[in-house]
Structure 1
């Protein structure tokens, strides 16, 4: 008991002191953000796939599936939006650097690397007391100031490039001299027993475990290389899919449509278009059918292997007492990739992989040393029932799975048809963590405001949508362009698959983009076209150089990279020999 002097009495009395009891500390959730690479809309079981993905199916049961979530049509632009909440053109990533033309690179916002005018979700969570970890593909810049270890991640093991081998440290394209892996800001050599999905989860568990006892929450970004080319998987997983795809891509596309309808992801009357690159399965001979089916079997195996290793992370979190306080966000950077050759056994198709030291043998397909990719036909099935695929602004290139799950979330086993966009992920993570978005300045420099929306009202059931009927979201990639507004989508796809004509679809009723409403809804069409022009102006979208195509520029950049040293040596030799040549010519003139 304390002896206190009561005011005005002049005498000391025994009085209980007033003690302020601090409020119970708010337990902030751990957040695991899992990003697949080139995963199609119906490539996992909760979205209608035949591929066995029990971990992702369980997560879908613990949260909300988004049936109308969209992302960029290729990887680096999507990653910029996902990690910053800012549109990719403004964030400095209008395209992957491997496809940028020299004329475009003269502009500061066309470098293909994450700009200093944006803040990553890792920066903000680290500033709020979170441990921040990253394992996997980065592809947002490889110079020292662009590494993930300089963008808010405390522990990292990261692959810098657009892709790499999944079995060993080797590049998959001649545009790279080596597979560029970094750990905590320093060059890193992969272990001998490397397989990408297993390794990335091993490192994530290692990072989390290193600080698990100090009471601070963690943010773990796991950026898988599955199912980007080269498509590779352990034999034990491949064996499970042998024979599954023998009926071909048309049958698979129809089967996935039916399952997507049954699960409520798309309307019952959803129609599909046939992409022009989808070949005639019945016209193939038996050997080709056998080979094509195995290409897809390896693809399915790689997805299941990814799911298996996510399951290992889930089990670790459960055994360490972290699972109940962890929120999971799972999605893909873009839709399925169809750049695999239609006939991988033809000489031109084998020439590229052979130049990199790969084989395409049937018996060893998907194993170490193998270069594998799915055909355009199976890529179309992977995106079923949507049209187009990666690099195009059709739904197949942009609409992908999104699952947000966790024991602490109020809604479970539900699906939402609300439109959502890649820039929404960072604001949602910040809201779930109780962390404010940055102001006009961060760390002493001006930064752009986030344009994404917080999706947590959809998770709680307090709202049916976070975008109003008049809210517009634009996007552009090498002339392929789109504007979303309400249930409508204004879109243009350039050749070779598109025709360069603007079209209008109601993607809530017609996700397969079959019925063009442009002529029947001219007011909506013109209004949205005007809104897209505003987007292009405000985001600094540049016109394409004459004759530009994605593949031509990729090949040109690859050749430039491959022969750059030879050219430099030639120029240096000329520089050294020039004085002797000049002296020789002057001597001849005398």
Structure 2
């Protein structure tokens, strides 16, 4: 009976809350028609080393060099040495962004149109929503390795755990990676949500054995330094990709970093949001007096009682400490490269995979209470669980609108910079529209490697969609995209289309109503002034452009009752809890049902 009921998602939605409480208790063949725009090697320059640093869930102004108050001196020094991109876009969640970063191919065409956990079940049959890299894409790591690079990755992977999708088959010589969306930062085996049976770690493609206790940012840098040291005698250049968990939930940091921020956030999220907006404007990253949108998910700070304010302030203290701890370990990697004489010939790339995390995971509270403490005095430490929440997330995204999972600028405009040999821009900031698909072709151009357009080692592949950023990195401030060129986007029903200064966008609840809006995100990056009535022709034509783009990229509409948080729970039950604990779940429903039947029959006999 239970199995037949659970075949219907609508039934799952109807019984979810009651059932959840019961469940939780128990370079051969390479062909190319695209030439590198700039070939450093052809000009007698050595190929550069490349370090990619991916932060997890950082807001636009979390980084000091982007206007934030968090101490990130090592990243700031690199950013100010190179070029900061103030109009750089990703997807609004981790897996789609990482697929585009690695391949230069739009996420639906790369097979990861959505995070697997939040994908509607009706989409699973589509090649655009497999939740892992398509075999029709080639990674930049594979291309670099084919052309003489040593390649290493440590940290979060999250683009597929099938044997053909693990790092060794995707161009990495050495790897220690987490295959999941995240985990505890102190205990590598502790899940942050009960959507799998364990945390999956892989070293060089095999199940990894990790220390019982660690701190994620420190461990990932330690392992990367170890890989570099093992091959320090090699004359080959290297690619080093570090996928940090900071600042993915649960928010955790060493006590000495947390102590630095005590009392720093006692004025609340609205004051912080305004201060960051003003700081980013002074740096030239956004226009002066950029208006701030009012988010429906942001609470009124002054309406919170003293105890609630204290607890919320502590959450942000832990968030800031986690970011500073990551920066500290970035500094260790930089120091190591300087000592090894590799710093001057290394290109550094930093980005966040999406905007700040505003989800609250309320549906998992029953499970979390059995796994973690949420006491204020323990937040940030081992065994404790904290989140940033939607109100602080709006401040991390300041002055942008929205946060992770949504198509507002706060969800998809991320901090990014590049620094290293040959990178110079007199202004230090590039304001033109750029995208995560631009990174792979840029790195290939830096290494003097042609990008494949139709074929890789005898297999047909998707062509890279992005533009090389080299002109912007070498001081040219003209737009990389033509005024009439479109850039489309979709994730979980939240969608956007960029064209020149215009952005067409729609968001689902709770940040939107599913209706299209039109903004000038150059003058109004906070998306506060809807221009559809002032520009009706553009508003109509861009909707047509979006539909053409969506059809070409295999975008599917979400169900009318779709809710991403609820979908995560549905998928968790159907993909993990039911197959693993089916008998216990059935008993959880059948025992009360049998009791009710017995009671009804007893009453009739009486």
| TM-score, normalised by the number of residues in structure 1 | 0.90
Larger radius of gyration: 1
Structure 1 match to 2:12: none
> Among 417, 436, 440, which residue is 2:450 paired with?
436
Rounded to whole Å, the distance in 2 between the matches of 1:23 and 1:495 is 52
Q: Do the aligned partners of 2:425 and 2:476 also contact (CA within 8 Å) in 1? A: no
Q: Do the aligned partners of 1:61 and 1:412 also contact (CA within 8 Å) in 2? A: no
Structure 1 match to 2:330: 310
Structure 2 match to 1:381: 395
Q: Do the aligned partners of 2:246 and 2:322 also contact (CA within 8 Å) in 1? A: yes
Structure 1 match to 2:133: 114
Q: Do the aligned partners of 2:119 and 2:492 also contact (CA within 8 Å) in 1? A: no
Matches within 5 A, 1:371-450: 371-411=385-425, 414-450=428-464
Matches within 5 A, 1:537-548: 537-548=551-562
Q: Do the aligned partners of 1:63 and 1:412 also contact (CA within 8 Å) in 2? A: no
> Among 491, 499, 506, which residue is 1:477 paired with?
491
Structure 2 match to 1:352: 367
Structure 2 match to 1:237: 257
Structure 1 match to 2:578: 563
Give the C-alpha shift of residue 185 in structure 1: 0.6
Change (3 A) 1:28 1:567: same
Rounded to whole Å, the distance in 1 between the matches of 2:150 and 2:479 is 32
Give the C-alpha shift of residue 462 in structure 1: 3.3
Give the C-alpha shift of residue 407 in structure 1: 4.2
SS in 2 for 1:219: strand
Q: Do the aligned partners of 1:62 and 1:412 also contact (CA within 8 Å) in 2? A: no
Rounded to whole Å, the distance in 2 between the matches of 1:24 and 1:270 is 44
Change (3 A) 1:545 1:416: same
> Among 500, 503, 517, which residue is 1:503 paired with?
517
Rounded to whole Å, the distance in 1 between the matches of 2:485 and 2:88 is 15
SS in 1 for 2:378: coil
Give the C-alpha shift of residue 469 in structure 1: 0.4
> Among 59, 63, 73, which residue is 2:92 paired with?
73
Rounded to whole Å, the distance in 1 between the matches of 2:42 and 2:248 is 48
> Among 122, 125, 133, which residue is 1:103 paired with?
122
Rounded to whole Å, the distance in 2 between the matches of 1:306 and 1:424 is 25
Rounded to whole Å, the distance in 1 between the matches of 2:524 and 2:338 is 41
Give the C-alpha shift of residue 340 in structure 1: 2.5
Q: Deviations over 1:414-436 (max 9, x none)?
A: 11111101100111111111111
Q: Deviations over 1:57-76 (max 9, x none)?
A: 10112100011111101110
Q: Deviations over 1:104-160 (max 9, x none)?
A: 112222211110000001000000000010111111111211112211111000000
Rounded to whole Å, the distance in 2 between the matches of 1:128 and 1:318 is 25
> Among 89, 102, 113, which residue is 1:83 paired with?
102
The more displaced of 560-569 and 147-156 is 560-569
> Among 156, 161, 183, which residue is 1:164 paired with?
183
Q: Do the aligned partners of 2:155 and 2:244 also contact (CA within 8 Å) in 1? A: yes
Change (3 A) 1:569 1:108: farther
Q: Do the aligned partners of 1:171 and 1:179 also contact (CA within 8 Å) in 2? A: yes
Structure 1 match to 2:241: 221
Q: Deviations over 1:261-283 (max 9, x none)?
A: 11111101310111111111111
Q: Do the aligned partners of 2:57 and 2:357 also contact (CA within 8 Å) in 1? A: yes
| TM-score, normalised by the number of residues in structure 2 | 0.88
The more displaced of 473-482 and 408-417 is 408-417
Give the C-alpha shift of residue 172 in structure 1: 0.7
Structure 2 match to 1:176: 196
Rounded to whole Å, the distance in 1 between the matches of 2:477 and 2:427 is 17
Give the C-alpha shift of residue 370 in structure 1: 0.6
Give the C-alpha shift of residue 36 in structure 1: 0.4
> Among 292, 309, 317, which residue is 1:272 paired with?
292
Give the C-alpha shift of residue 409 in structure 1: 2.1
How many residue pairs were aligned? 544
Rounded to whole Å, the distance in 2 between the matches of 1:251 and 1:208 is 43
Structure 1 match to 2:507: 493
Matches within 5 A, 1:513-552: 513-552=527-566
CA RMSD of aligned residues (A): 1.7
Rounded to whole Å, the distance in 2 between the matches of 1:352 and 1:376 is 21
Give the C-alpha shift of residue 289 in structure 1: 0.7
Q: Deviations over 1:50-93 (max 9, x none)?
A: 00000111011210001111110111011111110000001100
Structure 2 match to 1:512: 526
Q: Do the aligned partners of 2:430 and 2:477 also contact (CA within 8 Å) in 1? A: no
Q: Do the aligned partners of 1:324 and 1:408 also contact (CA within 8 Å) in 2? A: no
Rounded to whole Å, the distance in 2 between the matches of 1:391 and 1:148 is 26
Give the C-alpha shift of residue 284 in structure 1: 1.1
Structure 1 alignment gaps of length 5 or more: 1-21, 572-590
Is the aligned partner of 1:300 residue 2:320?
Answer: yes
Rounded to whole Å, the distance in 2 between the matches of 1:380 and 1:24 is 46
Change (3 A) 1:40 1:104: same
Structure 2 match to 1:261: 281
Structure 2 alignment gaps of length 5 or more: 1-40, 587-606
Give the helix-richer structure, 1 or 2: 2
SS in 2 for 1:363: helix
Structure 1 match to 2:13: none
Q: Do the aligned partners of 1:200 and 1:222 also contact (CA within 8 Å) in 2? A: yes
SS in 2 for 1:236: helix
Q: Deviations over 1:210-242 (max 9, x none)?
A: 112121000011111000101100001000111
SS in 1 for 2:124: helix
Give the C-alpha shift of residue 412 in structure 1: 5.9
SS in 2 for 1:220: strand
The more displaced of 282-291 and 297-306 is 282-291
Rounded to whole Å, the distance in 2 between the matches of 1:91 and 1:568 is 38
The more displaced of 539-548 and 306-315 is 539-548
Q: Deviations over 1:535-583 (max 9, x none)?
A: 0010011121342210111011112212312327999xxxxxxxxxxxx
Structure 1 match to 2:302: 282
